[in-house]
């Protein structure tokens, strides 16, 4: 059965992690996917959660029955700079301790690295994985990976090849719907990309996005032209161009039974109503 999780990103400024667990329960979710926040773990920084913070979250989980199912650290473990790579491996080791203390069975993350130095970044990524595999296996924590815009690999097929190269059954793929047009370089072949993942597809992130490649690339205007950046959105379903009928029908055809995370960002003033609508839509689609 699909596990529908809430990414509480829009509540980070006002709620503690423990209160985000309670918020998830109020909204009808059974699972939480904790994304980066400065007081727990943050992009590329050493995790800050201490025993007291972890105890507060465990208390909230016990009170509500909501499980922190997965953590989403972003550490640049594929950095071509060796000192930085080593620091990010250290960050990972502490993150896995936190996940283990929370009895969190899963972590999902990005490839990271530098898209302008892809070969060196790939070397660094596999070296980091070699160092961290014993820690993952000792804790019994699974890993789902995605290719994020501006990672050293940004396309669906490249990411799948990299993941298969790790050759571990507990390392699988996240298909992030709001990254669809980066994963495909502007194509709308969502179903094809997910089917290529096959049984490696264990996790989907659900939010909408407009195609940055459409209309001569003028959906988003970046100045100065040619700047080395990536742009996308995480909108509610219906506020973008992801082909949702194809997305959900493909998951049903594949008998998907992994994790589906609601990850809408940037609409804090409507967060509760958006999250309730998203839960209803995903429940209806994936229960067919």
Q: How many domains does the chain have?
A: 1
Determine what percent of the chain is predicted with pLDDT higher than 90: 87
For 124-141, what is the mean pLDDT?
98
Residue 188 pLDDT grade (very low, low, confident, very high; cuts 50, 70, 90): confident
For 10-14, what is the mean pLDDT?
97
CATH number at residue 277: 3.20.20.150
d(CA 88, CA 93): 9
Q: What is the pLDDT of residue 227?
A: 84
Q: What is the pLDDT of residue 150?
A: 84
HEC secondary structure over the chain: CCEEEECCHHHCCCCCHHHHHHHHHHHCCCEEEECCECCCECCCCCCCCCHHHHHHHHHHHHHHCCEEEEECCCCCCCCCCHHHHHHHHHHHHHHHHHHHHCCCCEEEEECCCCCCCHHHHHHHHHHHHHHHHHHHHHHCCEEEEECCCCCCCCCHHHHHHHHHHHCCCCEEEEEEHHHHHHHCCCCCCHHHHHHHHHHHEEEEEECECCCCCHHHHCCCCCCCCCCCCCCCCCECCCCCCCCHHHHHHHHHHCCCCCEEEECCCCCHHHHHHHHHHHHHHHHHHHCC
For 263-281, what is the mean pLDDT?
96
For 95-99, what is the mean pLDDT?
98
Which of 25-39, 172-186, 208-222 is modeled with the greatest confidence? 25-39
For 191-210, what is the mean pLDDT?
97
Residue 182 pLDDT grade (very low, low, confident, very high; cuts 50, 70, 90): confident
For 206-221, what is the mean pLDDT?
80
Residue 220 pLDDT grade (very low, low, confident, very high; cuts 50, 70, 90): confident
Mean pLDDT (the chain) is 95
- pLDDT tens-digit map of 24-82: 999 999 999 999 999 999 999 999 999 999 999 999 999 999 999 999 999 999 999 99
Paired tokens of 265: 């960002």
At residue 195, does pLDDT exceed 70? Answer: yes
- pLDDT tens-digit map of 135-155: 999 999 999 999 999 899 999
Query: Nearest-CA neighbor of 202 among 261, 157, 148, 247?
Result: 261
For 215-224, what is the mean pLDDT?
76
Q: What is the pLDDT of residue 288?
A: 62
Q: What is the pLDDT of residue 224?
A: 83
At residue 218, does pLDDT exceed 80? Answer: no
Q: The domain containing residue 93 runs over which residues? A: 3-286
Check if the beta carbon of residue 247 is closer than 8 Å to that of residue 19. no
229 beta partners: none
Between 6 and 224, the more confident residue is 6
At residue 213, does pLDDT exceed 70? Answer: no
């Amino acid at each position: 059965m699909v596990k529908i999780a809430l990414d509480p990103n829009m509540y980070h400024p006002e709620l503690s992690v423990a209160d985000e667990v309670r918020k998830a329960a109020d909204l009808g979710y059974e699972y939480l996917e904790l994304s980066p926040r400065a007081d727990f773990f943050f992009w590329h920084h050493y995790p800050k959660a201490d025993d007291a913070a972890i105890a507060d979250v465990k208390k909230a989980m016990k009170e509500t029955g909501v499980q922190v199912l997965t953590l989403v650290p972003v550490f640049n473990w594929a950095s071509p700079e060796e000192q930085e790579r080593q620091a990010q491996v250290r960050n990972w080791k502490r993150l896995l301790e936190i996940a283990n203390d929370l009895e969190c069975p899963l972590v999902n993350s990005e490839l990271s690295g530098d898209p302008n130095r892809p070969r060196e970044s790939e070397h660094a990524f596999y070296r980091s994985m070699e160092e961290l595999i014993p820690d993952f296996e000792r804790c019994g924590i699974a890993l789902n990976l995605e290719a994020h815009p501006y990672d050293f690999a940004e396309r669906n097929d490249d990411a799948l090849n990299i993941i298969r190269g790790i050759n571990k059954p507990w390392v699988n793929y996240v298909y992030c719907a709001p990254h669809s047009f980066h994963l495909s370089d502007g194509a709308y072949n969502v179903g094809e990309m997910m089917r290529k993942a096959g049984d490696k597809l264990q996790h989907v992130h659900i939010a909408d996005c407009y195609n940055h490649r459409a209309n001569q690339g003028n959906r988003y205007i970046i100045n100065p032209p040619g700047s080395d950046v990536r742009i996308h959105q995480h909108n509610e379903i219906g506020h973008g161009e992801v082909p949702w009928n194809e997305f959900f029908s493909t998951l049903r055809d594949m008998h998907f039974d992994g994790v589906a995370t609601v990850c809408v960002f940037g609409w804090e003033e409507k967060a509760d109503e958006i999250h309730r609508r998203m839960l209803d839509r995903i429940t209806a689609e994936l229960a067919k």
